[in-house]
Structure 1
């Protein structure tokens, strides 16, 4: 997207994981499919940035079992309904990784830039 083109509205998604005993195993089981999907959305310029939230202890290099607590993403789309449909189509949503009752999608006014869209 060139700088002369108007940008689409941006939306932040906070998708916390379920906290039951099987949540991490469900996440890891479908992670390759999830990553394929988000890479495709990133190449299309729809998903601009995303990643997993982890526990504070997970940044310690001595911790071998990183603990995920959810995902955060920033989308560019015409409206919030498009973003919701993309999130609900994700394998993490369908496989009960993300807690559907605590999922948040809100418009965001960024004070900084976003990474360029990969070519």
Structure 2
């Protein structure tokens, strides 16, 4: 499987945090499904100086690029415009 580092940066418009929190249960459900299937390796929110969530970083793995694209087409934070930008990089977790 290919591993990916996915970084989603939230919108900064008024109400963006409330919107994130409203969509968060759907996103968490998606992450639980990915964990059960072995696709979720690590993830969490990144915070601003006040400790407020402003985006997410995930390490995921998929068999094919098509599987990655399928997830992106279904990810609630993408579909519901929580993340303003999404950056995907091929990644490799160090084996130490």
TM-score by length of 2: 0.88
The residue aligned with 2:90 is: 107
Distance 1:17-1:75 versus aligned 2 partners, 3 A rule: same
Relative contact order (alpha carbons < 8 A, sep ≥ 6): 1 or 2 greater?
Answer: 2
The residue aligned with 1:26 is: 19
Q: Equivalents in 2 of 1:80, 1:106: separation in Å? A: 12
Residue 79 of structure 1, aligned match among 64, 71, 83: 64
The residue aligned with 1:92 is: 77
Residue 44 of structure 1, aligned match among 37, 50, 54: 37
TM-score by length of 1: 0.72
Could you tell me which runs of 5 or more consecutive residues in structure 2 were left unpaired when the two chains were aligned.
Answer: none
Deviation at 1:93, TM superposition (A): 0.9
More strand by share: 2
Q: Equivalents in 2 of 1:112, 1:56: separation in Å? A: 32
Q: Equivalents in 1 of 2:65, 2:83: separation in Å? A: 18
Deviation at 1:112, TM superposition (A): 4.2
Between the two proteins, the alignment pairs up a number of residues equal to: 96
